[in-house]
Structure 1
C-alpha cells in the first residue's frame, strides 16, 4: 500500500513537472526556471524519502563554477539541483528514462552519445558558453555510475571548459547512507539494473540520507585539465574515505570511452 502510494505520487509529480516545463519554461527567465527546478527536485526527493544534508559549510556556493561529483545514482542530478540548480552534461541513455529523461532535457541537460566526438564538442561549447554567462554547470567525470565505496578514474576533457571560461572547478562528494550510517543498499544504480528497477528499489526501501560534502573550489584559469581532474579525484576520494588505488588513475580521456584525448582542444574549440 505504501509503495503504491509512493508510485502514484511520483507519477503525478513527474507529470506536473512536464506540464510546468511545457507551459512555463519557454516564457520565464533563468532565475525563475532555477526556482522551479530547485523546488521540484526537493519535492521529488521527499517523495523518494531522500533527506539531503550538507556536511561542510553552512551555505551552498552560488558563484559561477564547473561542478564535478562522483556518480552513484540517477538521484545525484536531483540532489545537486535541490541545493542549487546546475546545467548538466550526461550520457545519452538518460534521455530514454521514462518521463524523467524528458524532464532533465527540458532543464537544459546536454547529452553525450557513447563514442561521439561531435556530441563531446557540442557539450564542450555549451559548457564554455554557460560558464561565461554566469551559470553553474555540472558533470560526472567518471562517465558512468559506480557502486558506493568505489571511485572510477576521471575523464579530463570537459575540465577544459572551466579553463577556457576562466571559471572555477567545484568538487562535490556524494554518499547515501541508511539509519546505521552505512551505504544505503537501495541506491547503487549499476550493472544491468534498469531505471525503473532502481526507482522501485528506492521507493520500496527505508529512508535515505544523502550527504553532500562541498569541497574547496579550484581556480581553473591557466591550469591543466589533467591536473584539475586529478586534484578533483583526490579531493572527492578522500572525502568519501576511499583508499588510494594501487596505481594513480589515468585522469584523461573522453566520457564513455571516446578516444584521442590529446586532441581534445582541437576537437572542442
Structure 2
C-alpha cells in the first residue's frame, strides 16, 4: 500500500474522529466517551502500523490516580488512550494547533502556560481537585521526548498534585519494538524532525509493536521530589523488564538529541 494512500486513510480517520467528538460526545455518557476514544485510538495505531501489547494490566488503576509515563513520540498519546483513555496535561500552544488542539480541548486536557510562574499553583490546584474527585490524569514528567533507550530525569513539579490530594501515582512505560525484535527508534519525535517526517519514518519502518508496562501504584508520601524519583525508578525498571522478558535488542545509541514535545508536562 502506498504511503500516500496510508496517509489519506489517516486523514479520513482524523476527520471521522472530529465528527464523533462534535456530534456524539455531547450526548454520550462518560463510559461511552471512554469506549469511543479507546476504539478510535486503537484504529489510529492500526493505521500507523502499530499493534498494542499491554503488560501487567492487573495493576491498572481506573480512578483517582496520576499516570506518569516516559515520552518518546506524539503517538504515545494514542498508545495510552488505546490502553485506557486518560486526559493529559499539555503545553498551552497545543490548543492553537489545527485539529489536534481542538481534539485536546474537547478531551479534558489541562493546558499550562509554562512561562508564567503563576501557572504552577493554578495547575497543581486543578490537578489535585480532579484527582480528589476520582479522575485520572496523565503527565510526561521528563518534560521532553527522547529516543526511548533511556530516561531523562523526572521533573517533580507535577508530583505535588498527588501529594496534596493524597492519591496514588501509577507509573507506566512505553517501548516500541520492530519486526526483527529490536527496540525501534522510528516513532521517536526528536532532533529537527517535522511531524510529517516523523510520521513518514514510522509508516516506512514496517510493522511495530507498542508495549505498555503498567507499574504498581505508588503511595504519594509527603515529598514530591522523593515521589518523582520513585516513579522514575519504577519506569526504568519496567523498561529493563520488558527488554529482558522479550529478549529485545537495543539499537546503537544515537547522538544527543533535541526534543520535540506535542504534549508534555
TM-score band by shorter chain is 0.7 to 0.9
**Structure 1 pair 30/125, CA: closer, same or farther in 2 (3 Å)?**
farther
Name the structure 1 match of 2:206. Answer: 206
**RMSD of aligned Cα (Å):** 2.0
Alignment of 1:10-159 (within 5 A): 10-58=10-58, 60-159=60-159
Alignment of 1:171-250 (within 5 A): 171-220=171-220, 222-241=221-240
SS across alignment from 1:123 = helix
**Structure 1 pair 211/142, CA: closer, same or farther in 2 (3 Å)?**
same
CA contact (8 A) 1:153 1:233 kept: yes
Do structure 1's residue 164 and structure 2's residue 189 form an aligned pair?
Answer: no
TM-score by length of 1: 0.83
**Structure 1 pair 50/97, CA: closer, same or farther in 2 (3 Å)?**
farther
TM-score by length of 2: 0.84
Q: Which sections of structure 2, spanning at least 5 residues, go unmatched?
A: 242-260
Name the structure 1 match of 2:4. Answer: 4
Distance in 2, Cα, partners of 1:211 & 1:13: 23
SS across alignment from 1:115 = coil
1:187, distance to aligned residue in structure 2 (A): 0.8
Q: Which sections of structure 1, spanning at least 5 residues, go unmatched?
A: 243-255, 257-269
Aligned length in residues = 242
Q: Which moved more, 1:229-238 or 1:85-94?
A: 85-94
1:164, distance to aligned residue in structure 2 (A): 1.7
1:25, distance to aligned residue in structure 2 (A): 2.3
Distance in 1, Cα, partners of 2:53 & 2:41: 14
Distance in 2, Cα, partners of 1:92 & 1:203: 28
Distance in 2, Cα, partners of 1:114 & 1:150: 25
CA contact (8 A) 1:14 1:100 kept: no
Per-residue Cα deviation, 1:178-205 (whole angstroms, up to 9, x for no partner): 0122121311111221222212222222
Distance in 1, Cα, partners of 2:98 & 2:194: 11
